[in-house]
């Protein structure tokens, strides 16, 4: 089964060609109904609304960081604090989102708040980023209330990429091939970056200076008309100095993500399967008295899907066991069992879908995550869609030798309404969301209280985008948060402009430019070292020039932050100034 995704590019592909060659139509803005490839998202076999960013589109922008890509998604924002990424879908922070690598959970097994851990995941290893914002997030897990991201590594052919600049060096290699019923994929990537440093050099203002990351990915799959098997693994090794003023303060993290899947299908919409995933993490943090954190997460998921008339349904059972410890205290993060189900119904141009997940943990607490959505094509040019997700995010029990602290459940509800269409030679969309969170995580240590804000937070936003195929696009997003808790933590900008344009000269030189203007953000991440503050807005402009005259060799030159703006995405962390990048990609299909 081939990849079926909605291609959503973050930069305009090559614009109108000189000398009478037709323009290449950009692949952006409009989401369509797709069917997930079974290797990409576990158990998500139904149609759902998604967007996707291809590796080609990423290269056209010259982006170095995942956060740069995330900021182009509808109803999505990202903050990058020196290779530590946080995402905010529909205004909600990372713990309400699911992050996957080829369907394998990227959750941090030693985190008590359920946030994903994607340190060491580099853009050059990725072939595609799937962005799932619809109402079937309950299929993926309790944390997918606001949405999910799936990073896909599935190369077809062999590709080597080298990028270098003052303070940044990256080498990536990936290859994949299908031989008969077998498919194998491998990728390797290493990055060295010394462009980040602390705003104030002291132990109370951590920095990322320098940073070194290496990751390796491999998979082997076998597939015929009825039976599918896949085994895959991703290993990452990251190293940073926490504070440049104290060279002994360092953070090194080793992670392993492993996945195995078996699936049997009698027909295209009728199948049963089972998937087992294992995540391991070892984090050596010398800045906290030489603490060593270790954790494992086991997930086993069995499912069945069938088709009855105009309805496709799926049901499954999932069990997840997370265990962790530090040098001084053992703790247990989460141990849950869940039963889930979802269905999609088609009635002409109208489609309804819904999902539900019931979760219980070892303390016999029961929680529910559910979603419902509708989409309709008004005609061949205009589509309207709406989704609503609601649920109690899985609470956890944090145990150590000093205390046992309850993490209160969070009741989160989010919904959106969007209109996507084409009017003559102009494409565009209007999308709005409204999110509410009640009872934020509340827990404490023996020495000080951490994040004990029990409050209701409302986040609302709207986005409008216009595209002229072959020329460019522009989007404007406005967001507002109503209380002093979640809004400050998420650093949600009050507005954001993005614009992309491109032009191709003589069929051999492709020039693209990206512009981003971000408004002010409140910043009060629960941290004793960061005070309540308002971060100033900033504007960035990036330009990339690529030679496309050869089908195999693609040299390019990029300038990020071309006007050398000084800005902060999070309190205490400086961001790189102007960066000149030389790159070369060699590809053989």
C-beta of residue 111 within 8 angstroms of C-beta of residue 379 = no
Pairing assessment for the beta strands 456-468 and 472-481 based on DSSP bridges: antiparallel
Q: Is there a domain that residue 291 lies in?
A: yes
Q: What is Dmax (Cα atoms) for the chain? A: 74
- Range 39-55 burial, b when 16+ CB lie within 10 A, else e: bbbbbbbbbbbbbbbbb
Q: Is there a domain that residue 13 lies in?
A: no
Q: Is there a domain that residue 168 lies in?
A: yes
Pick 288 or 349 by higher pLDDT: 349
Q: Is there a domain that residue 14 lies in?
A: no
- At which residue do the structure tokens 């078996």 appear? 262
C-beta of residue 374 within 8 angstroms of C-beta of residue 351 = yes
Q: Is there a domain that residue 24 lies in?
A: no
**Model pLDDT for residues 78-133, shown as the tens digit of each residue:** 877 767 777 888 888 777 888 888 888 888 877 666 677 777 788 888 888 888 77
Q: Is there a domain that residue 8 lies in?
A: no
Question: How many structural domains comprise the chain?
Answer: 1
Within 10 A of 448 (CB to CB), how many other CB atoms are there?
7
Mean pLDDT of the region 245-269 = 82
Residues whose CB falls within 8 Å of the CB of residue 565, separated by 6 or more in sequence, listed in order: 538, 539, 540, 577
C-beta of residue 361 within 8 angstroms of C-beta of residue 334 = yes
384 lies in which domain range?
32-588
**Model pLDDT for residues 295-322, shown as the tens digit of each residue:** 899 999 998 988 888 888 889 999 988 8
Q: What totals of helices (H) and strands (E) does the chain contain, helices first?
A: 3, 36
**H/E run at residue 516:** strand 509-518
Residues whose CB falls within 8 Å of the CB of residue 37, separated by 6 or more in sequence, listed in order: 1, 2, 3, 4
pLDDT greater than 70 at residue 575: yes
**Model pLDDT for residues 185-212, shown as the tens digit of each residue:** 999 999 998 887 766 544 444 555 788 9
pLDDT of residue 62: 66
CA 544 – CA 527 distance, rounded (Å): 38
CA 508 – CA 569 distance, rounded (Å): 36
Q: Is there a domain that residue 500 lies in?
A: yes
Torsion of CA 120, 144, 146, 437, to 10 degrees: -110
As given in the structure block, the two tokens for residue 467 are: 């595209």
C-beta of residue 240 within 8 angstroms of C-beta of residue 247 = no
Q: Is there a domain that residue 22 lies in?
A: no
CATH number of the domain residue 364 falls in = 2.40.170.20
């Amino acid at each position: 089964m081939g990849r079926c995704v909605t291609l959503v590019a973050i930069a305009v592909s090559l614009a109108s060609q000189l000398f009478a060659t037709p323009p290449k139509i950009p692949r952006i803005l409009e989401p369509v109904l797709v069917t997930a490839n079974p290797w990409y998202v576990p158990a998500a076999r139904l149609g759902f609304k998604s967007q996707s960013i291809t590796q080609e589109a990423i290269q056209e922008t010259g982006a170095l960081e995942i956060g740069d890509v995330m900021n182009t998604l509808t109803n999505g924002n990202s903050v990058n604090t020196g290779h530590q990424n946080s995402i905010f879908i529909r205004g909600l922070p990372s713990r309400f989102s699911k992050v996957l690598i080829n369907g394998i959970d990227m959750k941090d097994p030693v985190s008590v708040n359920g946030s994903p851990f994607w340190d060491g995941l580099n853009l050059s290893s990725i072939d595609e980023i799937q962005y799932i914002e619809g109402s079937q997030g309950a299929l993926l897990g309790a944390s997918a209330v606001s949405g999910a991201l799936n990073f896909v590594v599935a190369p077809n052919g062999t590709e080597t990429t080298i990028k270098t600049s003052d303070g940044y060096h990256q080498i990536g290699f990936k290859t994949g091939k299908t031989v008969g019923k077998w498919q194998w994929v491998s990728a390797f990537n290493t990055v060295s970056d010394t462009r980040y440093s602390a705003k104030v050099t002291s132990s109370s203002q951590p920095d990322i200076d320098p940073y070194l990351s290496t990751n390796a990915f491999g998979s082997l799959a076998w597939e015929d008309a009825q039976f599918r098997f896949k085994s895959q693994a991703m290993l990452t090794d990251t190293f940073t100095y926490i504070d440049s003023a104290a060279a002994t303060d360092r953070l090194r993290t080793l992670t392993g993500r492993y996945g195995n899947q078996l699936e049997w299908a009698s027909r295209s919409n009728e199948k049963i399967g089972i998937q087992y995933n294992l995540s391991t993490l070892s984090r050596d943090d010398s800045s906290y008295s030489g603490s060593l954190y270790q954790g494992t997460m086991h997930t086993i998921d069995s499912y069945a899907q069938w088709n009855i008339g105009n309805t496709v349904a799926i049901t499954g059972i999932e069990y997840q066991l997370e265990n962790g410890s530090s040098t001084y205290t053992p703790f247990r993060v989460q141990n849950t069992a869940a039963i889930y189900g979802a269905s999609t119904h088609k009635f002409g141009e109208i489609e309804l879908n819904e999902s539900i997940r019931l979760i219980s943990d070892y303390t016999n607490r029961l929680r529910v995550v559910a979603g419902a959505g509708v989409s309709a094509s008004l005609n061949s040019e205009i589509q309207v869609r709406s989704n609503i997700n609601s649920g109690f995010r899985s609470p956890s029990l944090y145990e150590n030798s000093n205390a046992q602290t309850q993490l209160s459940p969070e009741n989160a509800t989010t919904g959106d309404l969007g209109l996507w269409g084409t009017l003559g030679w102009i494409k565009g969309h209007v999308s709005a969301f409204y999110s509410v969170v009640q009872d934020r995580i509340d827990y404490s240590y023996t020495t000080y209280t951490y994040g004990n804000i029990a409050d209701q937070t409302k986040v609302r936003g709207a986005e409008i985008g216009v595209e002229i195929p072959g020329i460019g696009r522009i989007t404007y997003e406005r967001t507002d948060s109503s209380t002093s808790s979640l809004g400050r933590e998420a650093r949600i900008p009050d507005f954001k402009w993005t614009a992309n344009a491109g032009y191709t000269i003589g069929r051999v030189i492709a020039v693209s430019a990206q512009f981003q203007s971000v408004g002010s953000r409140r910043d009060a991440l629960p941290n004793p070292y960061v005070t309540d503050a308002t971060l100033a807005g900033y504007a960035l402009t990036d330009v990339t020039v690529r030679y496309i005259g050869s089908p195999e060799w693609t040299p390019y030159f990029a300038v990020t932050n071309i006007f050398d703006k000084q800005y902060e995405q999070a309190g205490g962390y400086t961001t790189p100034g102007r960066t000149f990048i030389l790159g070369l990609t060699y590809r053989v299909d």
